[in-house]
């Protein structure tokens, strides 16, 4: 059995998912969001992300980190802050020598739904079905992290062969 940590990067809310993979079967172990306090200065918010991510890594001991690639956004200020949070994720997982795989949003949508142009509701519906969850994961960042983790299964299989 292998463990994948999926990350939907952000600094206000960072989606995470821990899935266990056994052959072609995947089970959601833990998922949610790491939130930071909007009133804290940005450096403190990044430090909170690092602390919480370190906890997840120590608790679940993942074999692979799968993260969504940064996509161009209209708001460059937001894009820069998300890029900095991705840097914190990259640095944190490097400390634990975790391999990192990145996928674009369209690659994740295509892997989970079969359609790279699928909307959020379609991704959420498939994640709920594939993991046999009783309800759609909330907030959206948690569902996205599950989809991202699921997309990494093929890469995990390549690493373990």
Active site residues: 8, 68, 141
Number of Cβ atoms within 10 Å of the Cβ of 130: 14
Give CA–CA dist 80/156, Å, rounded.
Answer: 29
Cβ-based neighbours of 132, under 8 Å, separated by 6 or more: none
CB 71 within 8 A of CB 82: no
| Alpha carbon distances (Å) from 7 to 39, 46, 92, 161 | 24, 15, 12, 24
**Cα dihedral 97/23/112/144 (nearest 10):** -40
- What's the CA gap between 149 and 134, in Å, rounded? 19
């Amino acid at each position: 059995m292998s463990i994948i940590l999926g990350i939907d990067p952000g600094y206000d809310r960072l989606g995470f998912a821990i899935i266990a993979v056994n052959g072609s079967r995947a089970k959601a172990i833990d998922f949610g969001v790491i939130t930071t306090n909007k009133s804290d200065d940005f450096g403190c918010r990044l430090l909170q992300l690092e602390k919480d991510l370190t906890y997840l890594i120590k608790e679940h001991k993942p074999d692979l980190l799968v993260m969504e690639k940064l996509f161009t956004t209209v708001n460059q200020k937001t894009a820069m802050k998300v890029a900095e949070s991705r840097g914190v994720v990259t640095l944190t997982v490097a400390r634990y020598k975790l391999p990192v795989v990145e996928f674009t949003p369209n690659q994740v949508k295509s892997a989970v739904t079969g359609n790279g142009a699928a909307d959020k509701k379609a991704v959420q519906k498939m994640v709920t079905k594939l993991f046999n969850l009783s309800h759609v994961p909330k907030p959206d960042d948690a569902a996205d992290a599950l989809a991202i983790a699921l997309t990494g299964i093929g890469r995990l299989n390549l690493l373990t062969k």
